[in-house]
Each structure stands twice: as C-alpha cells, then as structure tokens.
C-alpha cells in the first residue's frame, strides 16, 4: 500500500469490454455438457448469495479468495475500501454494547457526532506508536494506512502492535474494534 490514491475506479472503463467478451462465451455455455451448466449455475447462485449477504455494505465486498470482507484492508485502502459507510451500524452497535470511552479513527466525510458517535478522535499518526490501553474503533482506511506504516517502520517487530492485534469485532464491514491492554 502506498499513499497514492489511485483506486480501482481507473479500471471501470475495462468493464464494458469484459462484459462483451463474457457475452461472446454464451454460445459455448449453451452447447456445454449438463455438468458444466450445473457448475456455472452453482457459481451464479454463490455469487448472488455473497451479494445478498454483504448488503448494505457493497463497497466493503471482498470475495473468499481475499479472505472475507473483514480482511479487505490488507489488500486495498483509501476510496477502494472506505467512504465512511457503516456509521449507522456503528451507532446501533454502540447502543447495544456501550463503550464509555473510546478512541476513534475515521476516514469518511460524514459527521460521526450526527449519529451519536462521540469518541476521542485520533489520526493514523496516533496509531503509529504503542497505544495506551483502551478501546479503539478504527475505520478500514485507518487500519490499512496504520498497518502499512507500522510494517514499513517495524516489520513484524514488537513496535508493530497492529500485526499482532485481533479485532474484538468488525461492525458494518468497515469498523474494527480493538481492545488494547
């Protein structure tokens, strides 16, 4: 990961050509054996199920090859991953699981206070040293950038606390909640 905000959006012009190519395969599927059609049907149903299960967090979607949406921040960052979605889910989570005092790193442009989310705001820079004990709620962008900077500075050494940390939970496929002791 780098600090460049290149984004997958630059691949969007390729999609129409990919769809045309895929459409040209239709005659081959039509004349395929029954078991091939069965496999294709299973793959289509699987894809539809993944789409339904990620709703309403489609921006956070990553397939099983990457290791589920919760690990998306290991593959991409910036606008490919986090536009500030998930604030409503985080508000609901905090209502059901009150956290009296937490540190909050958030990438989006929405106002968390509007949703009643009032943690102590920190930046990615605040995650680059060993954190003080407490609860940390980090958006996917913050996790991706902090992980990248920590790996660059410490490798897998003791200063890279995020490499060893496991989130207690992931809310809205975008907010990772850590308990630092």
pLDDT score, position 94: 97
Q: Residue holding tokens 């339904």?
A: 52
9-53, pLDDT tens digit by residue?
777 788 899 989 988 888 888 888 899 889 989 988 988 888 888
Band the pLDDT of 73: cuts 50, 70, 90: low
Q: In the chain, how many domains are there?
A: 1
Domain that holds residue 55: 1-181
Distance CA 118, CA 52 (A): 31
* Stated pTM of the model: 0.71
Band the pLDDT of 1: cuts 50, 70, 90: very low
Which candidate, 138, 148, 150, places its Cα nearest to that of 108?
138
Q: Where are the alpha helices (DSSP H) in the chain?
A: 15-23, 26-30, 34-54, 87-96, 140-154, 161-164
């Amino acid at each position: 990961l780098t600090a460049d905000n290149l984004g997958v959006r630059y691949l969007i012009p390729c999609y129409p050509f990919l769809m045309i190519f895929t459409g040209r395969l239709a005659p081959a599927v039509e004349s395929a054996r029954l078991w091939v059609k069965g496999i294709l049907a299973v793959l289509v149903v699987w894809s539809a199920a993944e789409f339904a299960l990620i709703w309403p967090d489609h921006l956070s979607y990553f397939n099983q090859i990457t290791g589920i949406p919760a690990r998306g921040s290991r593959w991409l960052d910036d606008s490919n991953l986090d536009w500030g979605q998930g604030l409503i889910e985080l508000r609901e989570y905090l209502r059901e699981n009150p956290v009296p005092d937490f540190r909050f790193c958030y990438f989006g442009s929405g106002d968390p206070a509007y949703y009643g989310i009032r943690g102590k705001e920190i930046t990615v820079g605040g995650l680059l040293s060993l954190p003080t004990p407490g609860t940390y709620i980090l958006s996917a962008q913050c996790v991706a950038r902090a992980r990248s900077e920590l790996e660059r500075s410490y490798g897998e050494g003791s200063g890279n606390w995020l490499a060893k940390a496991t989130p207690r939970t992931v809310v809205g496929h975008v907010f990772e909640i850590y308990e630092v002791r």
